[in-house]
Amino acid sequence: MNQRNYQKELDKLIESQVSSGRVPTLLLHSCCAPCSSYTLEYLSQYFKITVFYYNPNIYPETEYHKRVQEQQQFIERLPVKHPVAFIEGNYDTDRFYEMARGMEQLPEGGERCFKCYELRLREAAILAAEGSFDYFTTTLSISPLKNAAKLNEIGERLAAEYKTVYLPSDFKKRNGYKRSVELSEEYGMYRQNYCGCVFSLRTE
């Protein structure tokens, strides 16, 4: 089976937007400031971005607020070609625990995580459709621990369901992850050492 190259697909899409002189709008779901760093540096050259911070998976609440603050500060400080806006979603943790029920003991990277991607991407897809964004996507694929094929599959399924468009992406390509580590150091960013939920905290 041929594996898709999401970076190449994104290159093609950007190339055609640039040649048409268009700067499309993008709703970018972000999991945290460090993961958004390279993604924003890269995509803000070609898109008008709204960062959507929707992560009800994060535990504890103090950690959630710390990550939101770090995200906002990074957006304010990053020099960009096109404007970057910010929207914070609801911190509705009940939805996350309801979704994770029965999968609490699964290791990171398994079914619970796929459902966790979907929970967050669904909210982004709904907002992208309601706000008539040209595209939506997520920073999540920058992490070597996240499954880019799954993220794109879920994103495209939700795009079809809500009649919007998912931007194909695998931000760990082209040294994206390495660049995010460099930017985090450059900006003195807080880099958490666990994915986010109480279950990932336990496995540390």
Kindly list the distances between the CA atom of residue 98 and the CA atoms of 57, 84, 101, 121, in Å, as whole numbers in the listed order. Answer: 11, 33, 5, 16
Q: Which of 71, 75, 112 is nearest to 89 (CA)?
A: 71
- 6 with 137: CB under 8 angstroms? no
Measured from the CB of residue 103, what is the shortest distance to ligand SF4 in angstroms? 8
- Which lies closer to ligand SF4 via its Cβ, residue 93 or residue 184? 93
Task: Indicate whether 35 belongs to the interface with ligand SF4 (CB under 6 A).
Answer: no
Where in 142-201 is the site for ligand SF4 (CB under 6 A)? 195-197, 199-200
Show the site string, 103-142: x = touches ligand SF4 by CB under 6 A, - = not: -----x---xx--x--------------------------
What's the gap between Cα 101 and its chain centre? 23
Measured from the CB of residue 145, what is the shortest distance to ligand SF4 in angstroms? 8
Q: How far apart are CA 198 and CA 179, in angstroms?
A: 28
Contacting residues toward ligand SF4, per CB under 6 A: 57, 108, 112-113, 116, 195-197, 199-200
